[in-house]
Structure 1
Amino acid sequence: MAPTALVLGGTGFMGGHLCAAFRAAGHRVVCVSRGRSRTRPGDDGLVHLHHELGAPTQDVAALLADVAPQVIVNAAGVVWQAEEARMWSLNARFAERLAHATAALATPARLVQLGSSHEYGPSEPGTSTAEDAVCAPVSVYGRTKLAATEAVLDTVRERGLAAVVLRVANATGPGVPANSLLGTVAHRLAAPAPAHDGGERAELRLAPLRAQRDFVDVRDVAAAAVLAATAPAGEVTGRVINIARGEAVPVRRLVERLIALADRPVRLTEHRPPPEPGRAGPGQDARVLRADLEWQQLDISRARRLLGWQPAVDLDTSLTDLLAAVRLPEQERTRT
């Protein structure tokens, strides 16, 4: 019988690709989401369940007992422009409850926790950050993800949980959230051009694009999760593993490449938006990659050594597929 993989946050950006990757690897996939699925249960070959992430540990335990998975992947949580209390609840405290519930299962299961490169905080330009670096996150998002990582690793040490944390760089590719930087740009470029623009190029206004970041395609992240779920337990249990391309890329270059791929006459301008009160995402503005993380490049040698993984999707392909995924619903809307 095929092993069962339970994917929490399965209808989100990463979750959808995780479900597809585990299904392609021969798993029976149970997709768990907070809200109603965008697809009808069963029409994509998955089993769909709904679960409230704020539920107590016993409810999480009941979900796991009902599904009886061999693999649990936690891609649930919130990123962009969420309130601080909500981020602590869904990113950190849920991960702790999930780790405890997984450790208590009668039949052991492996937990793959998706962490974030925002857990590290600032790094020196020109350097690569390895997993043993001291973490000093500067955003609430980074702090909540680090708390989740620590909760999982504490449960490994104290309760014998079989778990691995994948610390993921900035993910891109088809399905990237519309309120992320690259998602914002792609949606602007995919929108129909004004009927009467006087021949002038449309303006694309963004926050200053000074950062150089490590980007990785979401499908490479999904492939890494499958490898982490199936690697020998002794190799990966209790480990943090960076998942990235291992190269810092100027963010402005990626935006300019998206514009070129879209073949749209756009004038790119940069400005500093006013702060938005009450928000605690990776940036005050959804289109901003935080200026206090102007350089980040991850060392991915551990992923190569322990998982036999390396990025397979180049950034040009990732951006092309991102744009195509955004354009498809735009084209469908114009036909109706």
Structure 2
Amino acid sequence: MGTPPRYDPSEQSFSDLSGERVLVFGGTGFLGRHVCAALRSAGARVVTVSRNAPAGGTPDDSVPMDLASATEAELVRLVHDHAPRVVINAAGRAHGGEPSELLAVNAEAVERLAHALPAAPEPPRLVHLGSIHEYGTGEVGTGFLEDGPTRPVGAYAAAKLRATLAVIEAVRTRGLDGTVLRIGNVVGPGAPRQSLLGTVAHSLVEAAERARTSGERPRLRLTPLRAQRDFVDVRDVAEAVLAAATAPLASVRGRVVNVGCGRAIPVRQAVERMIALSGAPLDIVERASETGRSDPRWQRMDIGAAGELLSWRPRRDLERSLSDLLEEARRSRARRTAAE
């Protein structure tokens, strides 16, 4: 799970959550950990809800629950017991898994959550984290708008879109106070190894060790680096979540809001820059995916609505995200080595 991310409260203040209880589904995951750190810095009383909730936690700070298997009645009971002001859903699965599993985790669970929250004695606000992949691939030179077409590619993207539609429908028909943040391609310290840039970061750390001990120059096989993606720092995403959690109801209720950097960055450029930052000897070998999967080639978000509705903008550039990702990968490697 790694160490909790550090969050600098001097960078931005969200005093409106001081003393308020917030439930965070998926709070032990990559994005969820950063969201929890930012919430605690704002003075919120955070309760993580996760199948991987710490065994030593208390009912006041962690709840072991798998959102994918929780019933609607169990979710109602959870909200009744903790009476949160806000519920944040950062749970989900992006890497691996059968289509049926991706559907259960990323869509069906969200449908139950969106139905359960309005039934609570004091219904909380729901901030659900969607995905840029709901849009699919864009036309080169253009940016995705929240009310534009959605053409998801693959089971994960289709499930995320279904979840977004479920939240918006629950706002319309059940009185849910809910909003969806469509998140770009998230990068930064602690990015999972299954992700592209997470894979590169950990491979570079291991390559540096091999070069010191044996002089070996390893090779890393990746799918062709042809895409251009909207990368956004995980800490910027956490700040957007905080802004959505405290925004006036009229600004965000029933809205989908893009959260990205607003630029399409060549993936090859990001990978090559990380290699340069690491100073490690590593050769990239590009090879087509054996699964024949076709990933979106161009993705860029229009983030104007986030500025207007949330007074939010990304403040960390890709250079900082990559540097901090590498540094966290080095620390992770050092912890594993020390434990062996």
Shared fold per TM-score greater than 0.5: yes
Instruction: Give, in whole Å, the separation in 1 of the partners of 2:72 and 2:218.
Output: 51
Identity %: 49
Q: What's the CA shift for 1:200?
A: 5.8
User: Aligned with 2:210: secondary structure?
Assistant: coil
What residue number does 2:126 align with? 111
Q: What's the CA shift for 1:292?
A: 3.6
Question: Within the alignment, does 1:265 sit opposite 2:265 as a pair?
Answer: no
Deviations, residues 178-211 of structure 1 (Å, cap 9, x unaligned): 11111111111111215665x5632222110000
Instruction: Give, in whole Å, the separation in 2 of the partners of 1:229 and 1:35.
Output: 24
Tell me if the contact between 1:211 and 1:291 (Cα under 8 Å) persists in the aligned partners: no
- TM-score normalised by the chain length of structure 1: 0.91
Deviations, residues 238-276 of structure 1 (Å, cap 9, x unaligned): 00000000000000111111111111112222111322x
Alignment of 1:219-298 (within 5 A): 219-275=235-291, 291-298=294-301
Instruction: Give, in whole Å, the separation in 1 of the partners of 2:250 and 2:332.
Output: 45
Q: What's the CA shift for 1:10?
A: 0.3
User: Aligned with 1:189: secondary structure?
Assistant: helix
Amino acid at match of 2:279: D
What residue number does 1:280 align with? none
Amino acid at match of 1:325: E
Instruction: Give, in whole Å, the separation in 1 of the partners of 2:188 and 2:52.
Output: 23
Match for residue 85 of structure 2 among 26, 47, 70: 70
What residue number does 1:3 align with? 20
Question: Within the alignment, does 1:128 sit opposite 2:131 as a pair?
Answer: no
Instruction: Give, in whole Å, the separation in 2 of the partners of 1:291 and 1:83.
Output: 17
State the 4+ residue runs in structure 1 displaced beyond 6 angstroms. none
Label 1:334 to 1:88 Cα distance change in 2 as closer, same or farther (>3 A): closer
Once superposed, what is the RMSD of the aligned Cα atoms? 1.8
Label 1:221 to 1:159 Cα distance change in 2 as closer, same or farther (>3 A): same
Label 1:21 to 1:274 Cα distance change in 2 as closer, same or farther (>3 A): same
Q: Which runs of 5+ in 1 are unaligned?
A: 276-283, 285-289
What residue number does 1:304 align with? 307
Instruction: Give, in whole Å, the separation in 2 of the partners of 1:326 and 1:274.
Output: 27
Tell me if the contact between 1:210 and 1:291 (Cα under 8 Å) persists in the aligned partners: no
Instruction: Give, in whole Å, the separation in 1 of the partners of 2:53 and 2:255.
Output: 34
User: Aligned with 2:230: secondary structure?
Assistant: strand
Q: Which runs of 5+ in 2 are unaligned?
A: 1-17
What residue number does 2:203 align with? 188
What residue number does 1:327 align with? 330
Deviations, residues 272-319 of structure 1 (Å, cap 9, x unaligned): 1322xxxxxxxx7xxxxx644100100000000000000011111111
Which of structures 1 and 2 has the larger relative contact order (alpha carbons within 8 angstroms, sep 6+)?
1
